């Protein structure tokens, strides 16, 4: 398993990162431990979670994902072997169980979130601590147009960076990153860190898959490449649509059928379904499963620090990790780009 450096840090992480948002909802604690064991056995050293997980988010299960990882870390003794990443939730009045309905990304909230995560994870430090989504108004999670009427009071980026800097000084977190951010946001974080002597972001965890390649434009060249900020690609299989399992069986077991469809409408857009059918056809014509092709493509992108994969079974996890061994031919990559030209970012 190849290791890649995150930003300007000393963190060397596997090409594949184990995402854990199903732990505590679709996966039991025993399932979670099995996945963690298998991932490390296959060379994965990078684990990503969040205080908000599992999904769908609710008060009864919030924090279960971190707790399951914590019991595994204690039982296995593998804390020194993993790069552990988690996230603090941005503002969301619909999730008042996370530090109250006014939770945000100010000093008090960030400090409380870190302490809670450390306790649940049963560790005394977090390798990569990320802001899950911005405090300010920004289109995220499928909203793809900025709405000035949705403006809200926001915690200044400088205040968040100062709080994170204190926690770095105390040894509770090592490095920081952002998630669901824009090019302006990345540049502002980097500018303030350089001007004010504050910690520098190393990573951005954003949506990136065959149906959602908008990162390749201004976020990549004008923000991340020039600032040494590594992409942690999430949803590389577009909530399972790129596996073609829903194409083959509309009633297939998976998040799009288990949870209310209003949760992820972007993955149900007609153009997404049409694009996924084209990618599936291409994969099968070249002796690959649709999931293998979609993941191999993502794993091979030169600017991706690590690709975050999730699974609900060990068989799925085996296939997803195994795709790292698949090398796509130039012809297949060219055909992927041709499909992208016809169906440009329908899942963004």
In angstroms, the first-to-last Cα distance of the chain is 29
Residues with Cβ within 8 Å of residue 272, at least 6 apart in sequence: 211, 238, 241, 266, 346, 347
CB 126 within 8 A of CB 85: yes
Q: Choosing from 53, 129, 208, 299, which is the catalytic residue?
A: 53
Residues with Cβ within 8 Å of residue 80, at least 6 apart in sequence: none
- Whether 208 is catalytic is no
> Using CA atoms, how far apart are residues 272 and 231, in angstroms rounded to an integer?
23
Tokens encoding 14: 């596997």
Angle between helices 290-300 and 330-342 (to 10 degrees): 100
Distances (CA, A) of 189 to 133, 182, 186, 204, 331: 13, 11, 5, 11, 39
Tokens encoding 317: 């996890």
CB 309 within 8 A of CB 18: yes
> Using CA atoms, how far apart are residues 244 and 278, in angstroms rounded to an integer?
10
Strands 230-234 and 201-207: parallel
DSSP state of 198: P
Tokens encoding 54: 């599992």
CB 53 within 8 A of CB 64: yes
* Active-site annotation, residues: 53
């Amino acid at each position: 398993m190849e290791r890649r450096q995150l930003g300007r840090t000393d963190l060397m992480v596997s090409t594949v990162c184990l995402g854990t948002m199903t732990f505590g909802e679709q996966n039991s604690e025993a399932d979670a431990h099995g996945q963690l064991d298998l991932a490390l056995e296959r060379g994965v050293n990078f684990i990503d979670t969040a205080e908000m997980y599992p999904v769908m988010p609710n008060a009864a299960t919030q924090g279960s994902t971190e707790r399951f990882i914590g019991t595994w870390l204690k039982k296995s003794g593998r804390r020194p072997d993993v790069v552990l990443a988690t996230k603090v939730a941005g503002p969301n009045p619909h999730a008042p169980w996370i530090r109250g309905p006014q939770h945000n990304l100010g000093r008090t909230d960030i400090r409380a979130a870190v302490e809670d995560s450390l306790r649940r994870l049963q560790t005394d430090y977090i390798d990569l601590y990320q802001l899950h989504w911005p405090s300010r108004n920004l289109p995220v999670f499928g909203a793809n147009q900025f709405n000035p009427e949705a403006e809200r009071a926001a915690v200044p980026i400088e205040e968040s960076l100062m709080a994170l800097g204190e926690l770095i000084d105390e040894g509770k977190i090592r490095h920081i990153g952002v998630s669901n951010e824009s090019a302006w946001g990345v540049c502002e974080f980097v500018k303030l860190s350089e001007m004010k002597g504050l910690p520098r972001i190393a990573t951005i965890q954003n949506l990136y898959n065959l149906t959602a390649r908008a990162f390749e434009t201004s976020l990549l060249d004008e923000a991340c490449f020039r600032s040494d900020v590594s992409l942690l690609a999430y949803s590389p299989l577009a909530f399972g649509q790129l596996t073609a399992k829903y194409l083959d069986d509309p009633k297939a077991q998976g998040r799009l059928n288990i949870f209310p469809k209003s949760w992820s409408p972007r993955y149900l857009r007609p153009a997404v379904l049409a694009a996924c059918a084209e990618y599936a056809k291409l994969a099968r014509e070249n002796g690959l499963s649709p999931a293998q092709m979609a993941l191999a493509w993502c794993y091979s992108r030169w600017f991706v620090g690590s690709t975050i994969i999730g699974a609900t079974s060990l068989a799925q996890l085996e296939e997803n990790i195994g795709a790292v061994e698949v090398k796509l031919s130039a012809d297949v990559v060219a055909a992927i780009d041709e499909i992208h030209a016809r169906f440009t970012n329908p899942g963004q």
